[in-house]
Amino acid sequence: MATNPTSNLIGFLCDTPMVGSGYFGMLQIGLMAACHKWETALVVKSFDLSDPALADRIRALLARIPLRGVILPEPICEIPAVLDAVAEAGLPVVRIAPRSDTGMTLDICVDNEAAAYDITRYLIELGHKQIAFIKGPPDHSDAIARLAGFTRAMGEAGLAADAAKMVTGGFDFAQGLSAGERLLTMDSLPTAVFACNDEVAAAVLATAHRLGFKIPEDFSLAGFDDSPLARQVWPQITTCRQKMELTGYMAVDFVIDPPTAAEARRRPQLHELVIRQSTAKPRD
């Protein structure tokens, strides 16, 4: 199948659990804004990534619907059979936050390692030494990179990234509740907690409220993403903005008006620290 340069439809193919998340919502704001600019519409379709027929389902979709190009977020953008299916269709592919460079796609990258490093540095500069980290899903590239950034900042500052204070969590609220419960019932409380995303940070905050801890008086708390949730709780959560709206906007731009130079095919998306009320100097 050839490309469809006249199609007004851009495909957004993702995993089913992503639908309804705050991350997806933020991305869609940017996707919709760029679709408005280019007078295109977005075809959204979610898939069960463990389905053995996944690649065939995508082939069938691409055969039925003339798309201008396809946007693939993490983690579907890492599946070789999916990339092959889209490549066979001859469509431009834009990947959001992929782990590795295939040389075949246009990529928008968030440097999760650097962003997590920056948050950790900020906590260290406030004076924190006992910093706990709540890890994301062990096989998720963003989670792995955030852990690496945390570990590097701790190591550079000569602080032990204490294994007992590196709690396995996940990316969702329920996992955050159980990780928060484990952390906050330990014998020695950390002076700061860095959660792998804002949902998990909000769960730690809810647990702290329930157990009678005050934030930031008893410990500081930081998240990651700058999702709406980080602003919809009290105290509001210090976090790292990934500019997901802008990422969505750029992804559509890349499909419609792809950059030609090789170095432009992989565009890093800047992050920025968003300092709110949940972090402060440690007591004493």
| Minimum distance of its own copies from residue 164's CB (angstroms) | 25
**Which CB, 19 or 160, lies closer to its own copies?**
19
| Minimum distance of its own copies from residue 54's CB (angstroms) | 12
DSSP string for the chain: ----TT--EEEEEEEGGGTTSHHHHHHHHHHHHHHHHHT-EEEEEEE-TT-TTHHHHHHHHHHHS--SEEEEETTGGG-HHHHHHHHHTT--EEEES-SS--SSSEEEEE-HHHHHHHHHHHHHHHT--SEEEEE--TT-HHHHHHHHHHHHHHHHTT----GGGEEE--SSHHHHHHHHHHHHTSSS--SEEEESSHHHHHHHHHHHHHHT--TTTT-EEE-SB--GGGGSSSSPPBEEE--HHHHHHHHHHHHHS---SGGGGEEEEP-EEE--TT--PPP-
Task: Tell me the site size for its own copies, rule CB under 8 A.
Answer: 46
Q: Binder to its own copies among 1, 37, 53, 60 (CB under 8 A)?
A: 60
Q: Binder to its own copies among 21, 102, 151, 178 (CB under 8 A)?
A: 21
Tokens at 89, concatenated? 């269709």
22 forms part of the interface with its own copies (CB under 8 A): yes
Part in contact with its own copies (CB under 8 A); list of ranges 7-15, 124-132, 160-168, 258-266: 7-15
Q: Which of residues 184-203 bind its own copies (CB under 8 A)?
A: 199, 202-203
Site string for its own copies, 65-104 (x = CB under 8 A): x---------------------------------------
Q: Which of residues 206-235 bind its own copies (CB under 8 A)?
A: 206-207, 209-210, 228-229, 231-235
**Which CB, 61 or 110, lies closer to its own copies?**
61
Residues making contact with its own copies (CB under 8 A): 8-9, 11, 16, 19-22, 24-26, 28-29, 32-33, 35-36, 39, 41-48, 60-61, 64-65, 173, 199, 202-203, 205-207, 209-210, 228-229, 231-235
